Amino acid sequence: MSLYTSTRKKLENLTATQAILQGLSDEGGLFVPTEIPAVDFSLEEMLGWNYKELAYRVIKLFFEDIAAQDLRHCIENAYDEKFDDKEITPLVTTESANFLELFHGPTIAFKDMALSILPYFMLTSKKYNKESKDIVILTATSGDTGKAALEGFADVEGTKIIVFFPEDGVSEVQKRQMVTQEGKNTLVVGVKGNFDDCQTGVKEIFADRAFEQEIAGKNYKLSSANSINIGRLVPQVVYYFAAYTKLIRENKIKVGEPMNVVVPTGNFGNILAAYYAKHMGLPINKFICASNTNKVLFDFFDKGTYDRNRDFHLTISPSMDILISSNLERLLYHISGEDTHLVANMMEQLKKEGKYTVTKEMKDQLSDFYGGYADDETTKAYIKKIYEEEGYLMDTHTAVAYAVYDKYMQETNDTVPSVIISTASPYKFTSSVMTALDDKYQAIDDFTLLDEMHTLIKGAMPKAMDQIAHKEIKHKTVCEINEMKHIVSSFLV
Mean pLDDT by 10 residues, the chain (493 residues): 95 94 92 97 97 98 98 98 96 98 96 96 96 96 91 94 96 94 97 95 94 96 90 97 98 98 96 98 98 98 97 94 95 98 98 97 97 98 98 98 98 97 96 97 92 89 87 97 97 94
Query: Nearest-CA neighbor of 27 among 47, 7, 4, 51?
Result: 7
Domains of the chain (ranges; CATH) run: 91-106+231-457 (3.40.50.1100)
Question: In this predicted structure, what is the pLDDT of residue 198?
Answer: 96
Question: In this predicted structure, what is the pLDDT of residue 143?
Answer: 82
d(CA 89, CA 94): 16
Question: In this predicted structure, what is the pLDDT of residue 83?
Answer: 96
Question: Which entry of 10, 82, 86, 111 is annotated as an active-site residue?
Answer: 111
- Are 40 and 46 in contact by the 8 Å Cβ rule? The answer is no
Question: In this predicted structure, what is the pLDDT of residue 1?
Answer: 83
Question: In this predicted structure, what is the pLDDT of residue 384?
Answer: 98
* Start-end of H helices in 281-395: 296-303, 328-335, 340-353, 360-364, 376-390
What is the model's pTM?
0.94
Name 345's Cβ contacts closer than 8 Å, sequence gap at least 6. Answer: none
What φ, ψ does residue 188 adopt, rounded to 5°? Answer: -120, 130
* Start-end of H helices in 12-154: 16-22, 43-46, 51-62, 68-78, 112-115, 118-128, 144-153
d(CA 102, CA 89): 5
* Active-site annotation holds for 463: no
In the 8-state DSSP scheme, what is residue 85? S
Transcribe 116-179 into DSSP letters: TTHHHHHHHHHHHTT--SEEEEEEE-SSHHHHHHHHHHTT-TTEEEEEEEETTSS-HHHHHHHH
d(CA 473, CA 457): 28
Instruction: Give the number of other CB atoms < 10 A from CB of residue 283.
Output: 15
Cα within 13 Å of Cα(111), Cβ side:
26
Question: In this predicted structure, what is the pLDDT of residue 256?
Answer: 98
- Are 260 and 417 in contact by the 8 Å Cβ rule? The answer is yes
Residue 400, class by beta-carbon neighbours within 10 Å (0-12 exposed, 13-18 middle, 19+ buried)?
Answer: buried
Report which residue type is found at 71: L
Instruction: Give the number of other CB atoms < 10 A from CB of residue 132.
Output: 9
Question: In this predicted structure, what is the pLDDT of residue 460?
Answer: 84
